[in-house]
Structure 1
Amino acid sequence: MKIEMYTPEYKQAMEDICIATASERARTQKRHHDFSLLMYCDEYLDREKCLMLMADDKPVGYVLCAEDYSAWKQNMAPYAKQIEALGDPYPKRVHDGMAMYGAYASEYPAHMHIDILEQYTGGGNGTALFHALIEMLKKDGVKGLMLGVDLNNTRAVSFYKKMGFTPLNDMGLMGLKLQ
């Protein structure tokens, strides 16, 4: 396994990982599939910093990161318009997510998404991706990192706590101070 910076030739593979690791609805319902890519993947691939976990020269996982909430919010505008076109309930989810992250952005300006195909989890790959991201963020002078997690996903919550994240609210937002 190795970790590499994302390059656009791998966009389809990265989108495939996003959907493979998303909810069953994202795999079976077109609108939710499109929402998942627009909200949690494409903007990051197009405009942010992304690291790929590679096996046999193909991505099997990633960490996507927006270093600056304000820039991310502006970058999301065209994607938000596409999400609006999907209809209810998706625009409200975008608005609520941006508001939740915005409330903590001064202390935790960066946020991330990490996904790894199931057969590549549990062997330290998530930890390696996470540490590579943290090294990059510290080098860039980012003071804090946050993420959202489904609180029912106890495996993920446990992993993030092991990495040093603490709960920021009771809705699954967690943060990590980097400075």
Structure 2
Amino acid sequence: MVRVVQQHAGQLPMAGDAEYVSAIEPSDYGALLEDLKRRVHGARYQVQRKANTELLRLYWQIGQTLLQRREAEGWGSRGATNAAVRRRAVRRIGTMITIRPYRPDDRPDIVDVCVRTGRTGLDATGMYSSDDLLPDIYALPYVDSEPELAFVADNGERVVGYVIAAANTRDFASWFSNTWWPSVAGKYDHPTSDAEVHTLASAGDPHRMLIADVDDYPAHLHIDLLPEAQGQGLGRLLIDTLRVVLAERGIPGLHLTMGADNTNAGAFYRRLGFTELASSTPTATTFGMRIDKP
């Protein structure tokens, strides 16, 4: 099992696929962990009020690591016995995935993930006349215009997932239509299918991103994970990381639009706290989330 940890410098070990070793925990370990979590939580929000992104991320990462260790190994479990010493099996780390800010050298991996998940989560390689089409619409304009709102899941060898966003959808739609799309549209002068014609027409429409609720939920996101990175809580971590940065900017709401038939994704977003918006259509569901001010 792949576990997730976030940090800027070193990495803390988590449960993973490897041999078992013994660990001894004192009887008050759970209480100590709960106290540490409580203090980290308080410090995180004190820092948030001061709008210091780097410190905020640090405290947030510590808190997430503690929660993951508790889930993986049962630390501080309310059902634990009160024996003076408890022995348990603790797994050494197998694979580590780090949530970190986007870097320019991630660009090829962003393109690859976008294409390999571009058909409602499935591989869209060869679907259009050029595999550049989906990244040119749904990935690269975001990392180029607002790289500070792009975060990736890195398995140590490559990026296996990402979340990207625009803080102000109205501004982004204007920039996309007037600047970005004209710079790349010439690559697609000879579409080879009806699906490609439709995708190109949608990309060139400056109003396609302006949902009825856009002023209440001005930011929007795209999130994609390769199949091997799914089912491990990475989607939640990526979106939570993005929410912290949007909250610091004072962005009141965040939205996304997905195919109405993608029931698994819909259930995932509902679990995260997104609610379906009135701007949804029979073919496209729009979810929104309010963002608390720091």
In 1, distance between residues paired with 2:203 and 2:275? 23
In 2, distance between residues paired with 1:22 and 1:100? 18
Report the 3-state secondary structure (helix = DSSP H, G, I; strand = E; otherwise coil) of the residue aligned with 1:71: helix
AA partner of residue 13 (structure 1): D
AA partner of residue 11 (structure 1): R
In 2, distance between residues paired with 1:98 and 1:62? 25
Moved segments of 4+, more than 6 Å: none
Which one of 131, 137, 140 corresponds to residue 42 of structure 1? Answer: 140
Aligned pair in 2 of structure 1 residues 32, 143: CA closer, same or farther (>3 Å)?
Answer: farther
Shift of 1:33: 2.8
AA partner of residue 54 (structure 1): D
Shift of 1:97: 7.5
Shift of 1:123: 1.0
Aligned pair in 2 of structure 1 residues 157, 90: CA closer, same or farther (>3 Å)?
Answer: same
Q: Which has the higher contact order (CA 8 A, sep 6+)?
A: 1
Report the 3-state secondary structure (helix = DSSP H, G, I; strand = E; otherwise coil) of the residue aligned with 1:28: coil
Shift of 1:73: 1.4
Q: Normalization by structure 1: what TM-score?
A: 0.89
1:60 is aligned to 2:160: yes
The structure that has the greater radius of gyration is: 2
In 2, distance between residues paired with 1:100 and 1:66? 11
In 1, distance between residues paired with 2:198 and 2:126? 17
In 1, distance between residues paired with 2:275 and 2:130? 29
**Greater share of helix:** 1
In 1, distance between residues paired with 2:206 and 2:268? 22
Alignment length (residue pairs): 179
In 2, distance between residues paired with 1:125 and 1:163? 12
Shift of 1:89: 2.2
Report the 3-state secondary structure (helix = DSSP H, G, I; strand = E; otherwise coil) of the residue aligned with 1:99: coil
Report the 3-state secondary structure (helix = DSSP H, G, I; strand = E; otherwise coil) of the residue aligned with 1:52: strand
Given that residues 21 and 117 in structure 1 are in contact (C-alpha distance below 8 angstroms), is that contact kept between their aligned partners in structure 2?
yes
In 1, distance between residues paired with 2:206 and 2:270? 21
Given that residues 173 and 206 in structure 2 are in contact (C-alpha distance below 8 angstroms), is that contact kept between their aligned partners in structure 1?
no
Given that residues 170 and 210 in structure 2 are in contact (C-alpha distance below 8 angstroms), is that contact kept between their aligned partners in structure 1?
no
AA partner of residue 17 (structure 1): V
Given that residues 84 and 91 in structure 1 are in contact (C-alpha distance below 8 angstroms), is that contact kept between their aligned partners in structure 2?
no
Q: Normalization by structure 2: what TM-score?
A: 0.56
Gaps of 5+ in 2: 1-96, 190-196
Identical counterparts, % of pairs: 27
After superposition, the C-alpha distances for 1:153-175 in whole angstroms (9 at most, x for unaligned) are 21111100111111121321111
Shift of 1:3: 1.0
In 1, distance between residues paired with 2:157 and 2:101? 13
Which one of 157, 161, 167 corresponds to residue 276 of structure 2? Answer: 167
In 2, distance between residues paired with 1:149 and 1:70? 19
Given that residues 69 and 102 in structure 1 are in contact (C-alpha distance below 8 angstroms), is that contact kept between their aligned partners in structure 2?
no
Given that residues 202 and 208 in structure 2 are in contact (C-alpha distance below 8 angstroms), is that contact kept between their aligned partners in structure 1?
no
Higher mean C-alpha displacement, 10-19 vs 34-43? 34-43
How does 1:113-132 map onto structure 2 within 5 Å? Answer: 113-132=222-241
In 2, distance between residues paired with 1:55 and 1:10? 12
Aligned pair in 2 of structure 1 residues 75, 60: CA closer, same or farther (>3 Å)?
Answer: same
Given that residues 35 and 83 in structure 1 are in contact (C-alpha distance below 8 angstroms), is that contact kept between their aligned partners in structure 2?
no
Gaps of 5+ in 1: none
